[in-house]
Amino acid sequence: QSRDVLKVIQKDSGINLKKLKVDGGAVRDNFLMQFQSDILGVPVVRPQIVETTALGAAYLAGLAVGYWKDKEEIAQKWKVDKEFLPNMKESVRENLYKGWKKAVSRSLKWEEKEE
């Protein structure tokens, strides 16, 4: 799923993904992050503070009341916890993706409409 979404984003934006910065509760799962890196073929970077949505809201509030000088000061607070590097062979990656696409294709007409 991630690969499909990123493929569309790259196509629409014209920008190729060089690394993926992640956040949220699921990023605590090392296996999942390594698999994302492997299937996407790019480094996946996890921050020390993974709940960055709430943190971002707090940063904006602090910026609004003058607690933070500017966005650059806030950006310096962001620290890497771990970087996951792709280590899956390209042939394995493509075979897994081919299987994913096949599964999606087979499931498209799974649900029958009630009349």
Each residue of 69-87: pLDDT tens digit? 999 999 999 999 999 999 9
For 37-73, b/e burial (b = at least 16 CB within 10 A) is bbbbebebbbbeebebeebeeebeeeeeeeebeeeee
**Under CATH, which number does the domain 2-88 receive?**
3.30.420.40
pLDDT reported for residue 104: 85
Q: Residues with Cβ < 8 Å from 32, sequence gap 6 or more?
A: 26
How many whole angstroms from its chain centre is CA 109?
Answer: 29
> Which pLDDT band holds residue 25 (cuts at 50, 70, 90)?
very high
- Which tens digit of pLDDT belongs to each residue from 30-62? 999 999 999 999 999 999 999 998 999 999 999
pLDDT reported for residue 115: 67
The residue assigned the tokens 């062979």 is 89
Domain boundaries, the chain: 2-88
